[in-house]
Amino acid sequence: MFDWEDLRHLIAVSRQGSTLAAAKTLGVNQSTVHRRLLELEKAIGLTLMKRHPSGYRLTELGEALIDHVLAVETAVHTLEQQIRALKHDLKGVVRLTCPEPTVPRIVATGLLDRFHERYPGLQVEFVTSDRYLDLSKGEADVAFRSGEPVDDTLVGRKICDSIWAIYASKSYVQQRGRPTSIADLADHALLGFDGIMENHRVAKWLPVAVPNARIVSRNNSMLGTLSAVKAGVGIAPLPTTLGDAEDVLIQVLPPVEELTRSWYLLTAPDLRRTPRVAAFVDQVLEDVPALQKALIG
């Protein structure tokens, strides 16, 4: 009656809103997309898409069928992965490096549970560190990293933005008051960064933004900084995913644009081609919405 390729083209147009954008996504020309849609509509005897000034939209009939079409997409994708798993008899460990505070958030998405259910012979091992591990030297297989990639030999994609704001504990604010601007931070006890964190963008931003900063404590990990802020030692920039999750903390100043960076999923090209890493990366890309929620908060 129709084939899967026709459905792929329908899904792409419904998601992108135009045949040109769908063509770029699918890696074909625009005329192929038009032809596939017409062939699908002819095969089933229904009009599924209608052109509007702002682009293509599903008709009422298309809306009634799209969930079923998406279910077919999911089934086909699952079948392809199962075939690959059976073909390669995947077994082994995928080492995932990321900052320690992100581990519980990643686990809470269910990503690892879905991955292990799909590939029971593979296990994910966290390698937590506040520094960038060298994937090319085998220190890890896959990385979740905040900040623009500095190693142009790695491949991957952006997952979401990492947003930072200024936090203090409720007890600190009660005792010493609350800053109303970045300039006001010069009149407060601030937390700095040391060790492997000294080259972090926050460590470089602070002395520029607050030249007369009064640093009362330095930490070489993000969790150490979080603990110090919670204890009322001083004020510090924190990822909003960490700061907003703590009842004892107050966001005393809003997100700082200069500190916003992106979260990336990265791996080395040779690792990306290995079945075990390819399986994990594909699972992550399938779960991007859940990861975005976990990493943004």
Same domain, 72 and 215: no
CATH number of the domain at 210, please.
Answer: 3.40.190.10
Same domain, 250 and 176: yes
Residue that is last in its domain, among 88, 110, 142:
88
Residue 277 lies in a domain: yes
Residue 68 lies in a domain: yes
Q: What's residue 86's pLDDT?
A: 65
Residue 219 lies in a domain: yes
pLDDT, one tens digit per residue, over 84-114 is 666 566 789 999 998 888 898 899 899 999 9
Same domain, 172 and 236: yes
Structural domain tally of the chain? Answer: 3
Encoded amino acid at 67, one letter: D
This prediction has a pTM of 0.60
Residue 123 lies in a domain: yes
Same domain, 198 and 130: no
Same domain, 26 and 169: no
Same domain, 133 and 75: no
Same domain, 50 and 105: no
Residue that is last in its domain, among 32, 58, 88:
88
CATH number of the domain at 18, please.
Answer: 1.10.10.10
Residue 93 lies in a domain: no
Contact 105, 263 (CB under 8 A): no
Same domain, 23 and 48: yes
Same domain, 77 and 153: no
Residue 34 lies in a domain: yes
Contact 149, 265 (CB under 8 A): no
Residue that is last in its domain, among 37, 70, 88:
88
Same domain, 106 and 174: no
d(CA 169, CA 189): 12
d(CA 74, CA 113): 17
Same domain, 225 and 241: yes
Residue 168 lies in a domain: yes
- Rounded alpha-carbon distances, angstroms, from residue 288 to 215, 223, 257, 278, 294: 38, 25, 23, 15, 10
Same domain, 19 and 80: yes
d(CA 84, CA 87): 5
pLDDT, one tens digit per residue, over 19-51 is 888 888 878 888 888 888 888 878 888 888 888
Per-residue pLDDT of the chain (297 residues; tens, 9 = 90+): 667 777 888 888 888 888 888 888 878 888 888 888 888 878 888 888 888 877 778 888 888 888 888 888 888 888 877 776 665 667 899 999 988 888 988 998 999 999 998 888 899 999 988 788 889 888 999 999 887 777 788 898 888 888 899 999 999 999 999 999 999 999 999 999 888 788 888 889 999 999 989 999 998 888 899 999 999 999 999 999 889 989 999 999 999 999 988 889 999 999 998 989 999 999 998 888 888 877 765
Range of the domain at 115: 98-158+268-296
